[in-house]
Amino acid sequence: MSPLVGDGVTLRRWAAGDASELARAWADPLVQAGCAVPVDRSSHDARRWISGQQHRADQAQSVDLVVEVRGRVAGEVGLGPFDHQRRAAVLGFWVGPDFRERGVASHGVGLFTNWAFEELGLAAILAQTTAMNRGSTAVLAKCGFAQLATQVGATQTWVVRSDAPRPLDPESPKN
C-alpha cells in the first residue's frame, strides 16, 4: 500500500523502526484507557506486532496505519474486525501526547475512512468510545460519524456510512 497524504498527515504502514514509538504509545495511560493494548508493552513486543501486520491484513483481520506528522509517529488509525457480510468494520485510533488537540486525529481518521470506503468497498464504519473521552467523540463527529447508542457503562457506538456526508472529504456526497 502506498502512503496516503493529506491535510498535514501521512498514513503509512508500520515499520520495524517505529517499535519504540509504538511501545511508548502503549504505555500512555490515555491510549490504554481508549484502546486495547497488549499486556507486554516492550519494544520487542511492538516489533513482533509490527511484523505481523501483513498477515493480519492478508487474513482480513485488521489494517493498521501510522499517522505521521513531519516524519514523526503521531498516532495510529486502524480497522478491524471486519464484518464481510455487512461490508462493515470497526475503527480504532489514537494520537500521542505531543499531537493531541491539533487536528491530527481528525485529519488521520478522515483520510483513513475515505480511503477505506473507496479502496475496501465498505458500506459502514463503526467506532466505540466513552462519553468521557471528549477528544475522540469530537473527532468522530467532525469526521461525519453519527452516534447510534450509549450502552451501560457509557460506551458510545458511532457510525458513518459510505453514502453519508463526510466533512473532511471535499468530494463527499452533499458537501
Q: To the nearest whole number, what is the mean pLDDT of the chain? A: 90
**Residue 146 scores a pLDDT above 90:** yes
Neighbours of 137 (CB within 10 A): 18
Place of cell 499486556: 39
Q: Determine the average pLDDT of the residues in 126-135.
A: 90
Query: Is 11 buried (19+), middle (13-18) or exposed (0-12) by CB count in 10 A?
Result: buried
Q: How far apart are CA 154 and CA 140, in angstroms?
A: 16
Phi, psi of 96 (to 5 degrees): -75, 165
CATH number of the 4-161 domain: 3.40.630.30
- Which pLDDT score is estimated for 173? 41
Residues 6+ apart with CB under 8 A from 102: none
Query: Can you give the pLDDT at residue 168?
Result: 62
Q: What is the pTM of this model?
A: 0.90
Q: How confident is the model at residue 113 (pLDDT cuts 50, 70, 90)?
A: very high
Q: Is 70 exceeded by the pLDDT of residue 175?
A: no
Per-residue pLDDT tens over the stretch 81-109:
999 999 999 999 999 999 999 999 999 99
60 vs 62, more confident: 62
Alpha carbon distance 149, 174 (integer Å)? 25
For 28-57, what is each residue's pLDDT tens digit? 988 888 888 878 888 999 999 999 988 998
Whole-number percent of the chain with pLDDT over 70: 93
Cell readout for 99 is 499531537
- Residue 122 has a pLDDT of 96
Kindly provide the residue ranges of all beta strands, DSSP E only, lying in 54-161, ordered along the sequence: 63-69, 72-83, 88-95, 124-130, 146-150, 155-161
Say if residue 4's pLDDT is above 90. Answer: yes
Q: Please tell me the predicted confidence (pLDDT) of residue 172.
A: 45
Domain boundaries, the chain: 4-161
